Amino acid sequence: MEVKNAEGIEKVYDYLNDAQTYYLATIDEGKPRVRPFGTILLDDGKLYIQTGRSKNVSRQIAANPFVEICACMGASWLRIQAELVEDNNREVKVKMLDKMPSLKAMYSPDDDNTQMFYLKDATATFSSFTEEPRTIQF
Ligand SMILES: Cc1cc2nc3c(=O)[nH]c(=O)nc-3n(C[C@H](O)[C@H](O)[C@H](O)COP(=O)(O)O)c2cc1C
């Protein structure tokens, strides 16, 4: 079953928020790289993640913005394929840091490091061992 609307993106946000940790996969010169991430923000109908420009993950996204995200809770899991688009809007940086204040020890909206991306042309699939997969596009 496929759902295409604002309700869909909220379900994806809620899942990632509840899971607290998701895994972000990138490509580094043709090889896969994956690491834990936790930043997640839904703002103005866009789903954002945050990183630092100094990280390898940022360099990899600059070279190839197509990523996959995976999170799980209990017997369910969520996989998202998307393109990441950088958004330098100061307001979204402020919102992310206010939502996750522990980030403020490392980042500020006015440093040269804090980097926000939103997910574009995303396909998110909720799966579990007991139910049919459900796909959402946003
Ligand atoms: C639970 C958890 C959540 C994390 N969330 C983020 C995050 O949202 N953004 C980020 O840049 N790094 C986050 N990190 C740190 C990255 O996983 C770490 O910096 C990683 O090495 C980045 O990948 P890279 O080495 O390929 O650049 C998190 C680490 C943990 C353990």
Q: How confident is the model at residue 1 (pLDDT cuts 50, 70, 90)?
A: low
In tens, the pLDDT along 84-135 reads 999 999 999 999 999 999 999 999 999 999 999 999 999 999 999 999 999 9
Domain ranges of the chain: 2-137
Q: How far apart are CA 2 and CA 16, in angstroms?
A: 19
Q: How far apart are CA 47 and CA 57, in angstroms?
A: 18
- Beta 134-137 vs 2-3: how paired, if at all? parallel
Q: How far is the CA of 11 from the centre of ligand 1 (A)?
A: 23
Q: Which residue from 26, 38, 95 is spatially nearest to 66, judged by alpha carbons?
A: 26
Q: What is the residue-averaged pLDDT of the chain?
A: 96
SS (H, E, C) 65-93: CEEEEEEEECCEEEEEEEEEEECCCHHHH
The structure's pTM equals: 0.96
| pLDDT value, residue 7 | 79
Q: What is the CATH number of domain 2-137?
A: 2.30.110.10
Q: Is 103 in the pocket of ligand 1 (CB under 6 A)?
A: no
Report the atom number in ligand 1 closest to the C-alpha of 20. 1
Q: Is 57 in the pocket of ligand 1 (CB under 6 A)?
A: yes
